[in-house]
Amino acid sequence: MVDDTDKVRRIAYSSEEAKIEVFAKGTTTIMTISGKFSPKVGEKVSQILSTLKGDVALEMVDLSPIDVSLLSFLRSVSQRVSSRGWRFFLIHPPLRLRDMIQISYSDGRFNIVEDISELPEETAEKGGSVTQQTRHILSVRKDALQHMEWEKAFASARDRVRAFFPLEPPQMERFEAAFLYMPSDIIGGDFFDFIPLGKGLTGVLIGDVSGHGIDAAVMVGMVKKVFEIWAKILFSPAKVVVQCNDDISSELQKNAFVTSIYGILDENNMTFTFVRAGHTLPIKFNPRKKIPPTTLSTRGLGIGLASRAAFEAALEEYTLELNENDYLFLFTDGIVEAQGRNGEEFGIKRLLDALSGEEMQSPRGVVMTVLRKLYDFTTPKEQDDDITAICISANYSKTK
pLDDT (tens digit, 9 = 90+) per residue, 84-133? Answer: 888 899 998 887 777 667 655 434 567 888 888 888 766 544 444 444 44
Give strand pairing partners of 60: 33
H or E, element range at 104: helix 95-104
CATH fold of 166-394: Phosphatase 2c; domain 1 (3.60.40)
Q: What is the pLDDT of residue 283?
A: 98
Average pLDDT, integer, range 47-73: 84
- Contact assessment for residue 56 and residue 43, using Cβ atoms and an 8 Å cutoff: no
- Residue 57, amino acid: A
Q: For the chain, give the number of residues.
A: 400
Of these ranges, 68-82, 159-173, 196-210, the one predicted with the greatest mean pLDDT is 196-210
Q: What is the pLDDT of residue 125?
A: 45
Looking at per-residue confidence, does 98 or 348 come out higher? 348
Q: What is the pLDDT of residue 76?
A: 80
Average pLDDT of the chain, as a whole number: 83
Tell me 58's DSSP state: E
Average pLDDT, integer, range 261-268: 97
Q: Which of 41-55, 208-222, 324-338 has the lowest mean pLDDT?
A: 208-222
Domain boundary assignment for the chain: 4-159, 166-394
Q: Which of 398, 395, 392, 388 is nearest to 184 (CA)?
A: 388
Q: What is the pLDDT of residue 2?
A: 42
CATH 3.30.750.24 matches 4-159: yes
pLDDT category at 8 given cuts 50, 70, 90 is: low
Average pLDDT, integer, range 140-155: 53
Which DSSP string do the residues of 202-234 spell out, in sequence order?
A: EEEEEEEESS-SHHHHHHHHHHHHHHHHHHTT-
